[in-house]
Structure 1
């Protein structure tokens, strides 16, 4: 847990005092990621660096893992907090293994335990220990070095991790891969993380909470969806962008929005049954499933008006499906790509779970925050 109480920093300059952080109050709960955002010079990096004592505070309180940092030796404090920077900062004359073990070695860990930890962490970011442990930084790509920089901060298993634009220098493709790996790793280790970024899309993807700063003031501190749905003022609204409603697509999953009544037919059913099911449910389409319940095809109501026979004689191939775990951005992109207004929703094994419509998505985005699971549109 990280808790800031009326935290302030005033810098003395030749032209007079400059307030870099003004009475900051925020709490990052245990296991949360908080992303600090704002324009250059807004106070976000100053606030981050005050947490581990790289910049001394002027006033206020900082609590890390329940301890007031004023009661801790600054060296002890920094060793108990993982710290990741954009420039990575790996020691070029040390192997990757030794780089990862820097803090455990300083803390007097057993060497075998520390080296074992290094191997475990490399595996967590998809770097084979057998290949990478004995290499030197110059033998790694920029993205690989950045992954090592992140896990080095985790080597001593600190409860808190601070990150200062850790992915900013990575190309977009590798950045997305590293972000995904980091989120997967965070799902396992559940560290409390404060994370400076300049990228609103990165913050939406990574954060449990977002803190937006301006001129040393904390303008809004809330969950990403809350900030996008209800920006606190015109500055926040402008900062997150005019497309803030579309940005919310990445925050809701297909499973949260889909219509899950799962009306369905099998190949041997009559078209009369298919028509009746669609009529009763108010649907224009119905999915045909296989013997075990996997989505196989569909029928459209207008195509079978007056038809007779079995479903298998009138079925059409599904243009596409979407996984229930995908976000709405993926669903919308798939709809546009295939020029459809609905999709069958399936799980990882292809079993039919429901369907999602453009109308349901529009309703979810337009609904007030916390009520995005209301009445869903029919296909």
Structure 2
């Protein structure tokens, strides 16, 4: 084996070690009782449609302007009875937010392939022998929900959430990553803040072949975000066969961001570990640790490909800091090493 081959093998082994540490850290975070309670609590809230989300947002903003709620952004919302089931009571004087609740009806037929044969069942009516029954949306009705800030009750279990990175980034790394994005025939631009990209930190649009990163973050966060988007470009796409679940794609992209950052001496764990854990928990049929482990080889290959294409050289300073092949591991913190703050961000496709 040549010196170059030995160096390459050593570098790839270092990346495997970083990924294994990520898997252990995610497993440690998500095996805790507080995380389990938080997920169980969140699962009891109904998913809202986009239109209802907008209705809630606008009405909550108005309530904030009138001094009725303490925060401008809603968090957990639920109906009156649902709050009661969770041990909360709506505070006196708090008005609910009007939304549109679906109204469904049951329809029956003996010939389901004939669209004209379906008949609506009356309340309490049973289908006839041999009939197939299906539920259909027949309209909407007004309903009301309240934000947790409009209620009193026991504390809400809180998941650890990603905290934006602070401080400077390795010199030239942004420019090098931008070069790779543009080499893949994607244009790169920035927006003033997250409001222009649906609350995300960055967004990759495969149809328009654009990458956008918000400008109001510290350099370290912007570099990590750009690495995440570059990983989407290299690994994913609108019709990529390997991605059967959005959560898997986000786990892979953020894992690559951690590994590329680690190779340059950056510790991204205060953002990456909660982010990866949250997305991995959305994949049905697997534990979060299994999801992270299963994506390891694709993450490693993408990380090696990106690192090999960068021209940032190998020493730790602020001028160019990619670690030498076989150099000691970069810093890596487990969840308990640092406090994790709260970030409110949406997650559109290939956005973070």
> Shorter-chain TM-score category?
under 0.3
Q: TM-score, normalised by structure 1?
A: 0.21
Return the structure number with greater strand share.
1
TM-score, with length taken from structure 2: 0.23
Structure with the higher fraction of residues in helix conformation:
2
Return the index of the structure with the highest Cα Rg. 1
- Greater length-normalized contact order (CA 8 Å, ≥ 6 residues apart): 2
